[in-house]
């Protein structure tokens, strides 16, 4: 795991190249709205911690975006505790782990205005198609990913998207079924390939 290598200013670039679709969605919503609701902040901040973003860099990252619409004092009052808490620096000092795909898919269903969740499960098919196209997938590849999503195979859909972008996860064995169990697994597989 590339702990310590990841800084706040690298996240835009990493989100495009190495984030699974759920985290791309959270990142772009955050950049667009300069805010994320609690469910989104939890899912995204623990993921970022998992990719190796230090607490100092995490505070820099969230603060610089949120203070585009609120002032620094407000940020400190409303959001700092939560970020420090996720890093085990407040409350019971538990070192919280990033959410697995299963947790993201089966708990805390996103409502309107939320950007957390798994797009393969929670986005409707038209919206999902737009997202896949925006991520650079050709129509036939998007069709295949959408089929898995439609059939309820969300984690397989995610792995297929990975393979379209990065190449086979099974060393070319067409028969082997692949799926992701964790957003950080997607990141690590991608990061490894791009930084060999």
Q: Which is nearer to ligand SF4, 101 or 142 (CB)?
A: 101
Kindly state the smallest distance separating residue 105's Cβ from ligand SF4, in Å: 6
**Residues of the binding site:** 22, 101, 118, 158
Residue with smaller CB distance to ligand SF4, 84 or 96:
96
Stretches 31-39, 52-60, 82-90, 101-109: which one binds ligand SF4 (CB under 6 A)? Answer: 101-109
Contact flags string 168-187 toward ligand SF4, x per CB under 6 A:
------------x--x--x-
Are 187 and 19 contacting, i.e. CB atoms less than 8 angstroms apart?
Answer: yes
Total residues in contact with ligand SF4, by rule CB under 6 A: 15
- Our finding on whether 66 is near ligand SF4 (CB under 6 A) is no
Q: Does 137 bind ligand SF4 (CB under 6 A)?
A: no
51 is an interface residue for ligand SF4 by CB under 6 A: no
DSSP H helices, the chain, are 11-18, 21-33, 38-51, 55-66, 72-75, 81-86, 101-106, 119-122, 125-134, 139-150, 154-166, 183-194
CB under 8 Å, gap of 24 or more: what pairs does 174-182 form? 179/153, 179/155, 180/20, 180/101, 180/155, 181/100, 181/101, 181/102, 181/155, 182/98, 182/100, 182/101
Task: State the minimum distance, in angstroms, from the CB of residue 150 to ligand SF4.
Answer: 14
**CA–CA separation, 181 vs 42, rounded Å?**
18
Residue of 62, 79, 87, 120 that binds ligand SF4 (CB under 6 A) = 120
φ/ψ (deg, to 5) at 8: -55, -40
Output Rg (C-alpha) for the chain, integer angstroms: 17
20 lies in the site for ligand SF4, by CB under 6 A: yes
Where in 141-170 is the site for ligand SF4 (CB under 6 A)? Answer: 154-155, 158
């Amino acid at each position: 795991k590339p702990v310590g290598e990841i800084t706040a200013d690298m996240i835009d670039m990493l989100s495009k190249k190495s984030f699974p679709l759920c985290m791309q969605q959270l990142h772009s919503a955050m950049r667009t709205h300069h805010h994320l609701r609690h469910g989104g902040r939890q899912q995204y901040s623990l993921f970022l911690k998992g990719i190796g973003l230090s607490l100092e860099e995490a505070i820099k990252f969230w603060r610089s975006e949120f203070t585009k619409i609120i002032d620094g004092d407000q940020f400190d009052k409303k959001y700092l505790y939560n970020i420090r808490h996720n890093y085990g620096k407040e409350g019971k000092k538990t070192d919280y782990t990033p959410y697995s795909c299963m947790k993201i898919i089966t708990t805390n269903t996103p409502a309107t205005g939320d950007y957390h969740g798994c797009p393969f499960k929670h986005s409707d098919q038209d919206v999902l198609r737009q997202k896949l196209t925006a991520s650079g997938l050709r129509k036939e590849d998007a069709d295949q990913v959408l089929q898995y999503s439609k059939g309820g195979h969300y984690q397989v859909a995610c792995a297929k998207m990975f393979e379209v972008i990065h190449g086979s996860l099974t060393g070319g064995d067409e028969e082997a079924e692949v799926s992701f169990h964790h957003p950080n697994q997607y990141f690590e597989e991608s990061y490894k390939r791009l930084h060999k």
